[in-house]
């Protein structure tokens, strides 16, 4: 077993320190498959063709606002080895008292938070995909996800365009395994820079 290296093995958060992810807002989210395996389909002629597992991801994403009344969905795309989506957290029921804890901490989920929504989505898709593959307990997703707080109409437009264009630019995408030569893979995060969108 390799020796523990805190720079390589430590789990780093991509969340904004102290930000309340239960508050109303829009978020651009990227979730990568475990080891960036092209598990969810293929891109053919610049169009994403989801396989059965990719369709499960789409179904569960569309099911998210049905299960969670504080969530609205915007543009999204399932790609061969990752998923991009825009999600809006809306105000919680005004008749309910506000929780004391609104900042997510490891092992202490916060109801209605972005992290809890994503965790539930990943769990539901993993369970269904593993039933198909007959691989109980196997990971389907990397343990973390990337998010960007959308703070303006301009950022929202850029995020939507990036998502819509993703299948068209798959041949250039850093997440495309055919483009991985010499690519520095950051564990737990898809290679997405804000400059990309």
Instruction: Tell me the domain boundaries of the chain.
Output: 19-93+101-175
- Bridge partners (DSSP) of residue 27 are 87, 149
Q: How far apart are CA 113 and CA 103, in angstroms?
A: 8
Comparing 109 with 77, the larger pLDDT belongs to 77
Q: Indicate whether 116 pLDDT > 70.
A: yes
pLDDT at 175: 83
- Kindly give, in sequence order, each residue whose CB lies less than 8 Å from that of residue 78, ignoring residues fewer than 6 positions away: 40, 41, 48, 50, 54, 57, 58, 61
pLDDT digits (tens, 9 = 90+) for 47-86: 999 999 999 999 999 999 999 999 999 999 999 999 999 9
Which has more confidence, 122 or 96? 122
User: 64 with 117: CB under 8 angstroms?
Assistant: yes
Architecture of domain 19-93+101-175: 2-Layer Sandwich (3.30)
What's the CA gap between 119 and 114, in Å, rounded?
Answer: 8
Q: Is the dihedral of CA 65, 13, 102, 151 positive or negative?
A: negative
- Res 188: pLDDT: 35
What pLDDT sits at residue 15? Answer: 46
* Statement: residue 150 has pLDDT above 60: yes
- The tokens describing 46, both together, are 């610049």
Assess whether pLDDT exceeds 80 at residue 93: no
Question: Lowest-confidence range among 22-26, 40-44, 91-95?
Answer: 91-95
Distances (CA, A) of 67 to 57, 58, 72, 98: 15, 15, 11, 20
């Amino acid at each position: 077993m390799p020796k523990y290296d805190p720079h390589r093995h430590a789990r780093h958060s991509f969340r904004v320190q102290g930000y309340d992810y239960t508050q109303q807002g829009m978020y651009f989210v990227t979730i990568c498959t475990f080891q960036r395996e092209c598990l969810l389909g293929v891109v053919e002629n610049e169009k994403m063709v989801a396989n059965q597992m990719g369709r499960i991801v789409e179904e569960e994403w569309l099911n998210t606002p049905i299960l969670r009344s504080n969530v609205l969905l915007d543009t999204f795309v399932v790609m061969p080895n990752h998923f991009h989506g825009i999600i809006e957290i809306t105000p919680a029921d005004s008749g309910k008292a506000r929780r004391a804890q609104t900042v997510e901490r490891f092992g202490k989920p916060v109801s209605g938070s972005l992290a809890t929504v994503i965790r539930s989505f990943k769990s539901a898709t993993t369970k269904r995909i593993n039933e198909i593959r007959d691989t109980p307990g196997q990971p389907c997703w990397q343990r973390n996800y990337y998010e960007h707080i959308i703070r303006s109409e301009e950022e929202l437009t850029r995020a939507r365009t990036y998502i819509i264009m993703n299948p068209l630019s798959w041949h250039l995408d850093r997440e495309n395994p055919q483009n991985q030569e010499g690519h520095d893979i950051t564990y737990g995060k898809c290679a997405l820079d804000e400059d990309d969108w």
